[in-house]
Chain A
Amino acid sequence: MSRLTSLTERLPGTRLVSHALIALVIFGLLTWINQFIDPLLSYYLATAAMYATAMFGMTILVGLSGQVSLGNGALMAVGGYIFALTSLNWQTVPILGTPWNAVWSMVFAGIGGVVFGLLIGGIAARLKGPYLAGLTLGIAVGVPAIANRFPGLLGGENGLMIQVPYPAGGYAAATGGLTDDASTDEFLGGGDEPLYEELPDDLFTDEQAVIEDDFAGDDFLSDEDFLSDDDFLSDDDFLGDDDFLSDDDFLSDDDFSTNDGFTTDDVVPEEAFDDEAFGVEGDLGSDVSAIDGLDAGFVIEQWQASVAIAVACIVGFVALNLVRGRQGRVWQAVRDDPVAAAVSGISPAGSKISAFVVSSLFAALAGAVFAQILSFVGPGAFTLGLSLSLLVGIVLGGRTSLIGAMIGAVILVWLPEFVLDVSADRGWDDQITNNAPNFLYGILVVLVVLAAPGGLVGGVQGFAKRLNRR
């Protein structure tokens, strides 16, 4: 370990490479797992990655910079709403004039996060302890309520429904950037009838093996892919009262045939659903194992999960560099002793604001991912409870560690499911089941603060240290 550390210190850029490797390995692993699990697990994976994205920012803000903030749920709302508004309203990129896609929405969500981070951070840098916590509490309660003030633009209490951007052609394109190129090429060229001929050829370029390029513009829907106004039903398309069946139209008991009328032959035999019917496996050959588990079904959860994982890994990579680099030490120095830090030539205010900006950026990106997972943004999605969950996750996992943030994210997703399982076994009623996770969170947070301020990661590290000493 020490040899490794000295190596990274000697060679400039080595650290960047090793961090990129860590992020890539995690990305590859999660993406690989994502292909084999069922949609529900993909959904959990997406949610956990989304939480982790937001909580990397909490690690920096609460853990390293020492500013207890409850505002990150509101900053997620900022990101989510910007994502929704831009993808709903903007058809082309301003100035550039190129067609709009989800990557631009993510970029604008990030910019919004930075702007809000500067605003709040500028105020927050003058505050400490309970004042800051109270102000951010006000933000968490107040900002989502703003949506109610602009029902036209922001959809009010009902929020905004958004189309989840996924590549045309559905699942195949979704994994196109994720599987290796060889199988992708075979996939496209192997069959007699190209299944996905409507896809543009440039959808599967070599660059797509690189993480960042998973978000190549072409992966996302272009304008034409979205429904235009004409595609929606007009009033005339709806049934009038006359169109409905009257009572007489319904079958009476006599009209039904007896069981004898229905033989097993009437059931479509399973063979009818062979591979050819779906045309997937037959066309693809056996070596596209990557999508074997999915058969013909397009699974949107998997696409959402791959988006969430990619964003989390990019954000995690940035966070890792910041935390383990100079800036991480600056944040901790200001947290531990602002006066000493100022004497050493560090601006305490600047350090606090930068922590806020970084965490806001991460929160906004997480909010944009959250909007895609939910296909929806609304005040009900970004409650005080969301802000509190982020705080709970970071405290339970370990306040000052990025691994702690990841563990916290997993806890936030896993614990409610665990409670559901226990509840099913024990036969608790809904009232208890629904509230048990939060009850546990609250108790655990107090216990962790009292007994193991470093959270799970800190506890394990302390235990390992004690073992070493013996």
Chain B
Amino acid sequence: MTNFIDYFLGGISSGVIIALMALALVLVWRSTRVVNFAQLAQAMFTTFIALTVRDLTGSWLLALAAALASGLVLGVIVHFLVIRPVKRMDTSGAIIATFGVLIALEAFAGMIWGGDGKAFPPPIRNTGFEIGGRVWPFSPYDLLVVVTVIVLVLALTIVFTRTSVGLAMRASAFNPEVARLSGVRVSRMLVLGWAIAGFVGAVAGVLVAPLTTLSPTAFDVFLVFAFTAAVIGGLDSLVGAVAFGIGTGLVISLVSGYTDSSNAPVVALVLLVVNLLFKPEGVFTHHKARTV
């Protein structure tokens, strides 16, 4: 039983980070109906920028700020240079283009920072809390991660539900034609969606880096996890992405704990296959009518 609690606690921080990554995928999907397979390559790149800033200045907060700014910019750049021109054509083209961005970004990062894994030091202690004479696998850093993600998700929720920009974004995601007729600048909302996704992805990257090592391909496996979570959540639903992101993280942590961490991608694959076979429209989907 203590094993279970340990694995469960260990899965919380990775779960909330996967939730953020899934959120980034969903934000892009809602705005442009494209799954950005380069999302985590972008996050990897901005995390490397953060690491560089951290090495230069010694400040984690400055590093985070650099990652956020570059994530925002990178999201907008990818949207303007790649997705907007390609969107008119087939979906295959858009998918292939995002993989092109992934390959180029990973190689570019390798050129600048090298291919070896680099340690990203956590800003605060990453050894477990000691309660009742026992070290639990939940550290002050995990707490920081959870708090950061909660704050970010709350902020996004407020933006989407309580502001006019959020309303316009939801409108253009739900029905671009009607939104345009109602005076919403849909194309701007698309850019905004990509920018916010880049921002969210950048946060996820900086948060996850201390829990693993940072290398150009380090986030590939998280792409599978995040995609799994986003698809199970419905690919359209922010709530679904967060809920199943955490769920995926916990399942992976439990399976890794009880068996071996190399099983994690296989588990994600099984989750994905089961979901796509039995509930391909996702659990939290908004548009039942559209999928029928």
Contacts and interface: CB of A to CB of B under 8 A. Distances in A.
A135 B114 CA distance: 29
Interface string B6-42: 0000000000000000000000010000110100000
B95 A129 contact: yes
A130 B111 CA distance: 29
A395 B96 contact: yes
A12 B187 CA distance: 55
A450 interface: yes
B265 A449 contact: no
Interface stretch (B55-63, B102-110, B173-181): B102-110
Given A131-B231, A450-B86, A435 B280 contact: no
B221 interface: yes
B256 to A, nearest CB: 12
A445 B107 contact: no
B63 to A, nearest CB: 22
Interface stretch (B134-142, B195-203, B268-276): B268-276
A378 to B, nearest CB: 14
Nearest to B29: A130
A443 interface: yes
Contact of B97 (A139, A141, A399, A450): A450
Given A445-B96, A446-B100, A431 B114 contact: yes
Interface residues of A, number: 48
Given A435-B111, A449-B97, A449-B100, A135 B273 contact: yes
Interface in A131-155: 131, 133-135, 137-139, 141-143, 145-146, 148-149
Given A435-B108, A439-B104, A388 B99 contact: yes
B277 to A, nearest CB: 6
Interface in A65-87: 66, 68, 70
Given A68-B95, A138-B224, A449-B96, A145 B103 contact: no
B280 A126 contact: yes
A102 to B, nearest CB: 30
Interface in A435-450: 435-439, 441-446, 449-450
State the majority secondary structure of interface residues on A. helix
- Interface band, chain B: 35 or more
A21 interface: no
Contacts of B108: 435, 439
B244 interface: no
Contacts of A134: 35, 37, 224, 227-228, 231, 272
A191 interface: no
A443 to B, nearest CB: 5
Nearest to B81: A446
A133 B95 contact: yes
A137 B227 contact: yes
A139 B269 contact: yes
Nearest to B216: A435
B156 interface: no
B277 A145 contact: no
A449 B217 CA distance: 23
B195 to A, nearest CB: 20
A342 interface: no
B117 interface: no
Among B86, B104, B105, which residue has the most Cβ atoms of chain A within 10 A? B104
Contacts of A434: 110, 115
Contacts of A441: 100, 103-104, 107
Contacts of B91: 128-130
Contact of B265 (A128, A142, A445, A450): A142
B280 A127 contact: yes
A142 B92 contact: no
Contact of B266 (A142, A395, A444): A142
A437 B263 CA distance: 31
A432 interface: yes
Contacts of B220: 141, 384
Contacts of B102: 388, 442
Contact of A438 (B92, B104, B227, B273): B104
A439 B111 contact: yes
B289 interface: no
Contacts of A453: 89-90, 93
A128 B35 CA distance: 12
Interface in B208-244: 216-217, 220-221, 223-224, 227-228, 231, 235
Contacts of B235: 130
Contact of A149 (B29, B89, B260): B260
Contacts of A149: 260, 262-263, 266
A315 interface: no
B81 to A, nearest CB: 8
Among B89, B95, B106, B227, which residue has the most Cβ atoms of chain A within 10 A? B95
B104 A137 contact: no
Given A68-B95, A149-B260, A434-B115, A446 B101 contact: yes
Contacts of B133: none
Interface of A: 62, 66, 68, 70, 123, 126-131, 133-135, 137-139, 141-143, 145-146, 148-149, 384-385, 388, 391-392, 395, 399, 431-432, 434-439, 441-446, 449-450, 453
| Ranked 4 nearest A-B pairs via Cβ | A442-B104, A445-B100, A438-B107, A442-B103
11 contacts: A123-B277, A130-B95, A142-B268, A145-B263, A399-B92, A435-B111, A436-B111, A441-B107, A445-B99, A445-B103, A449-B86
Given A129-B92, A435-B110, A442-B102, 15 more contacts: A66-B92, A128-B91, A130-B29, A133-B99, A142-B224, A142-B269, A143-B266, A149-B263, A392-B103, A431-B110, A438-B103, A438-B104, A438-B106, A439-B111, A445-B99
